[in-house]
Amino acid sequence: MALDEPYRLDKRRVRATFERAASGYDRTAVLQHEVCDRLLERLDLVRLSPARVLDIGTGTGRAARGLRSHYKRSLVCGLDLSEAMLHQARRAAGWWRRPVWVAGDAERLPFADGVFDLVVSSLALQWCDDLDRTFAGVRRVLAPGGLFQFSTFGPDTLRELREAWRRVDPEGTHVNRFLDMHDIGDALVRAGFADPVMDMEMMTVTYAELGQLMHDLRAIGASNANAGRPRGLTPRSRLQALEAAYEVFRRDDGSLPASYEVIYGHAWAPNVPVAGPAGRPERFIPIKPES
């Protein structure tokens, strides 16, 4: 399942925005941290003793550190598109039995078949253009009987910002597109996963002014990375029109809401291996502890 052309992601821009955001990401990513913690809490409900664990889209390593604490005997690997994010993850990980850090693309996982018993991804799948290819890669690197657990954003995420932009520039592509929970579940089935389970919750962050929301999105690297995004600086007059359009959502307490539809899911790899030329990694990266 690939995104429509205007909403296809410019991966070079995605990488560049996260590179710029890396040093200050943790100061702003309050919602991202909360979702990550809630995702990890769900692992308490699963009886699993994985030997090797992969965190896709590890960012500054919060999930990888949590997984390392949760599964003390496991080798944990954190993968991210941004090397600057991985640098922050290394700094925060300490020196004792640190996770392995790998720079790579979630849509082209650079690992051998069946390496991991558990794959986790917190709020990274929305940065993938082709969910079918991404899930096929996860299925390939999971060992038979392994678990894939993830969170991502659904279509009502930033609905206020999307509606405000629609009123100001109906033809523009200003806010990333997020897939519906049922489409994600269907993609899991197409990839060969068993027993997929999906659920959703709405979370809201409030701001005094729209400019604070825009600042926070830039600070965590969540800038517009669509191929169809407008090029160049946005004129001040258009930003003022956007602020006026967003005012319709202002609450009685004077705050402006930013809604996030958070989707959680998990599915199992069947007890049969998967392999084949189409699923082979572009290059093999062995899994071994850092020295």
Give per-residue pLDDT as tens, 139-174. Answer: 999 999 999 999 999 999 999 999 999 999 887 777
Tokens read off for 31: 């919602």
Q: Which helix (H) or strand (E) holds 264?
A: strand 256-268
Closest CA to 262 of 190, 158, 168: 158
pLDDT digit string (tens) for 27-56?
999 999 999 999 999 999 998 999 999 999
pLDDT reported for residue 227: 55
Q: What is the DSSP string of 181-210?
A: HHHHHHHHHHTT-EEEEEEEEEEEEEESSH
pLDDT surpasses 50 at 86: yes
Does position 26 have pLDDT exceeding 50, yes or no?
Answer: yes
* pLDDT band for position 291 (cuts 50, 70, 90): very low
Report d(CA 179, CA 203) in Å as an integer.
Answer: 17
Q: How confident is the model at residue 255 (pLDDT cuts 50, 70, 90)?
A: very high
Report which of 178, 10, 150, 14 is spatially closest to residue 85, judged by C-alpha positions: 14
Selected residue with higher pLDDT from 238 and 131:
131
Q: Under the phi-then-psi rule, with left for phi > 0, alpha for psi from -120 to 50, and beta for the rest, what region is 4? A: beta
The whole-angstrom separation of Cα 200 and Cα 13 is: 29
Binning pLDDT at 50, 70 and 90, where does residue 261 land?
very high
How much is the pLDDT for 226?
Answer: 61
Take residue 53 and report the two structure tokens written for it.
Answer: 């664990």
Distance of CA 68 to the CA centre of its chain: 19
Spatial distance between the Cα atoms of 270 and 15, rounded to a whole number of angstroms: 33
pLDDT at 11 over 70: yes
Helices (H), the chain: 11-21, 25-28, 30-41, 62-70, 83-92, 131-141, 159-168, 181-190, 210-219, 236-246
Mean pLDDT over 257-261 rounds to 97
Determine the Cα–Cα distance for residues 252 and 278; give it in Å rounded to an integer: 55
Given this model, what pLDDT does residue 273 score?
65
Residue 237: band (very low, low, confident or very high) from pLDDT cuts 50, 70, 90: confident
pLDDT tens, 186-228?
A: 999 999 999 999 999 999 999 999 999 999 999 998 876 665 5
Residue scoring higher pLDDT (230 or 262) = 262
Crossing angle of helices 11-21/210-219, nearest 10°? Answer: 100
Q: Is the pLDDT at 279 greater than 50, yes or no?
A: no
Phi, psi at residue 142, to the nearest 5°?
-80, 135
pTM (2 decimals)?
0.88
The Cα 172–Cα 169 span in angstroms is 5
Q: Does position 8 have pLDDT exceeding 80, yes or no? A: no
The closest of 153, 129, 150 to 138, measured between CA atoms, is 150
pLDDT over 60 at 84, yes or no: yes
CA-to-CA dists, residue 226 to 2, 14, 81, 115, angstroms: 13, 9, 17, 33
